[in-house]
Structure 1
């Protein structure tokens, strides 16, 4: 771990737990996101039933997460009253925890363990889903990508906590 990683780990030692609010699976490219109440997170692969689970084993983009607290910000930047989470095409919506504080840190949701790998930058498809300006509105608010380091069942309502 580099110096920045050690500092983040030290300052986030007592990070309060958050909550898993929503789970979405993308069965294939450009298909609607399916909302589920629970899913198996498969180590090194992704979420069972999600298209990323069939991709390259060990990918750093097995799961995508976004903070519920960022949705009103994105909506405001777009001049909308709300942004439906399924339009953002992320897998997990969490609340009550700062995902930036989990950058490169291991964490647990339900029975599964993860590590964040990178920012999940918005793609041009957001312009189609949310309208002109969506990519700009989401910059810095697109969430994070993560790898699954231990398989397990995750459910809506599970705690998300730093290990």
Structure 2
């Protein structure tokens, strides 16, 4: 294994579940949760879409970056309509990897690009502000449960 490959596979510390949300329907308000079950279709109480986009995750450290790009002091994580906010672990390094979140195991599949709704919710420039910061989609490898404060760690 090359040095570069070794370095890319390492992580300094596990992440932490910072926020959990579910959307019961496409345009419905986000329900903020302290804990949730993750089924094959995604986060329980979410509108569900099994497969490569079953769960959406976003890096908590990116929220203030997006806010700064929009000239705001802070943004509510519910605005982004993602399922899980994770802090302390660089999610961008996890594409294709399996990650344990609580007792569930997810596989990161593709970036979760912002949608045009962000422009309506956050104003002009929101789509551009979120590019590269919108998080990741994941498929469910093993259902389980998650709660605020749970560890998020790549499976080696």
Stretches of structure 2 lacking an aligned partner (at least 5 in a row): none
User: Aligned-pair distance for 1:103?
Assistant: 1.1
User: How far apart are the structure 2 equivalents of 1:41 and 1:34?
Assistant: 15
Instruction: Extract structure 1 runs of 4+ deviating beyond 4 A.
Output: 6-9
User: Aligned-pair distance for 1:9?
Assistant: 6.2
User: Residue in 2 aligned with 1:77?
Assistant: 69
User: Aligned-pair distance for 1:8?
Assistant: 7.8
TM-score for the superposition, normalised by structure 2: 0.93
Q: Say how many residue pairs are matched.
A: 153
Which has more helix, going by share of residues?
Answer: 1
What are the within-5 Å matches in structure 2 for residues 7-156 of structure 1?
A: 10-15=6-11, 16-43=13-40, 45-52=41-48, 55=49, 57=50, 59-156=51-148
Stretches of structure 1 lacking an aligned partner (at least 5 in a row): 1-5
User: Aligned-pair distance for 1:83?
Assistant: 1.3
Q: Is the 8 A contact 1:9 1:105 kept in 2?
A: no
Structure 1 counterpart SS, 2:61? helix
The structure-2 alpha-carbon separation of the partners of 1:8 and 1:21, relative to structure 1 and needing over 3 Å to count, comes to farther
The alignment yields a C-alpha RMSD, in angstroms, of: 1.6
Structure 1 counterpart SS, 2:75? coil
User: Aligned-pair distance for 1:132?
Assistant: 1.0
